[in-house]
Structure 1
Amino acid sequence: MLIMRSDEQAEAAFADIDFEQVMDAMGRFNGELIDAGVLVAAEGLDDAAEGVVVDYSGETPVVTAGPYGEAKELFGGFWILDVASKEEAVEWAKRVPLAGPGMKTEIRRVTSIDEFPVDNEWIRKERAWREATGQL
């Protein structure tokens, strides 16, 4: 998974970019991923001001509305790729459009249900649900 992250500097820079330019650049990149046969999913996230944070630090969860005053970096969107190696994911991440100061792409492997114990009741239930919904 390639996770787009940005700080306040990057968010401010994006305010000056025409939305059509963003859509064109992201569309071309997504098209390259599709043509290469590696794209599984890709989504952008809504403005942080529209989100909430549920903080579990205390005894009772605390819900705070966005924007997140303490956040140093925000997630802006993600791509899930089906690639052969971490190195291949890195090469795709190097090509992410509209990257610049304050932008980062974090790469994390998405685990498979096959990596969890098959004798676990909850894994069996999830596997059955995935099979019933055509995900396996």
Structure 2
Amino acid sequence: MRYLMTLNAPVRPPDQELYAEMGKFVEEMSKAGILIATGGLAMDGTHVSARNGKVTVVDGPFPETKETIISFALVDVGSKDEAIALSRRFFAIQGDGEGDLRQVYGPE
């Protein structure tokens, strides 16, 4: 089962300790064969919406940064409970913040 784990704008600013701890966590998931991809996302994206056949494009940065996804990890685990356990470990390193955990469907 693949899950996308996301992090919205964090409360804790990144520092060398956070990078080191997160690096160990990423390496552990990689060695276990469960990490498919991970990365940070730029704050200056483009928002695309469609309403009644009209497509609107708005360039960022976005005013509601607390709702902006700034990083992600795509993992392949055996169950939702395993994905939740990874999220708990992530936030034990990250500290305060929020994100989402969503199952990914489709071809692998």
TM surpasses 0.5: yes
**1:2 paired to 2:2:** no
Query: Deviation of residue 59 (structure 1)?
Result: 4.6
Q: Which amino acid counterpart does residue 19 of structure 2 have in structure 1? A: M
> In structure 2, what is the Cα distance between the partners aligned to 1:111 and 1:51?
25
Change (3 A) 1:54 1:106: same
Match for 2:17 among 18, 21, 32? Answer: 21
Query: Deviation of residue 111 (structure 1)?
Result: 0.8
Secondary structure of the structure 1 residue equivalent to 2:98: strand
Change (3 A) 1:59 1:72: farther
Secondary structure of the structure 2 residue equivalent to 1:24: helix
Change (3 A) 1:109 1:57: same
TM-score (norm. length: structure 1): 0.64
Query: Deviation of residue 36 (structure 1)?
Result: 2.4
TM-score (norm. length: structure 2): 0.78
**Higher helix fraction: Structure 1 or Structure 2?**
1
Match for 1:67 among 54, 61, 72? Answer: 61
Match for 1:55 among 43, 49, 55? Answer: 49
Q: Is 2:7–2:99's contact at 8 Å kept on the other side of the alignment? A: yes
Identity of aligned residues (%): 28
Secondary structure of the structure 2 residue equivalent to 1:61: strand
> In structure 1, what is the Cα distance between the partners aligned to 2:50 and 2:66?
19
Q: Which amino acid counterpart does residue 8 of structure 2 have in structure 1? A: R
> In structure 2, what is the Cα distance between the partners aligned to 1:38 and 1:104?
22
**Higher strand fraction: Structure 1 or Structure 2?**
2
> In structure 2, what is the Cα distance between the partners aligned to 1:41 and 1:71?
23
Change (3 A) 1:94 1:76: same
- Structure 2: give runs of 5+ residues left out of the alignment: none
Counterpart in the other structure of 1:98: 94
RMSD, aligned CA: 2.2
Rg larger in structure: 1
Q: Is 1:93–1:105's contact at 8 Å kept on the other side of the alignment? A: no
Secondary structure of the structure 2 residue equivalent to 1:37: coil
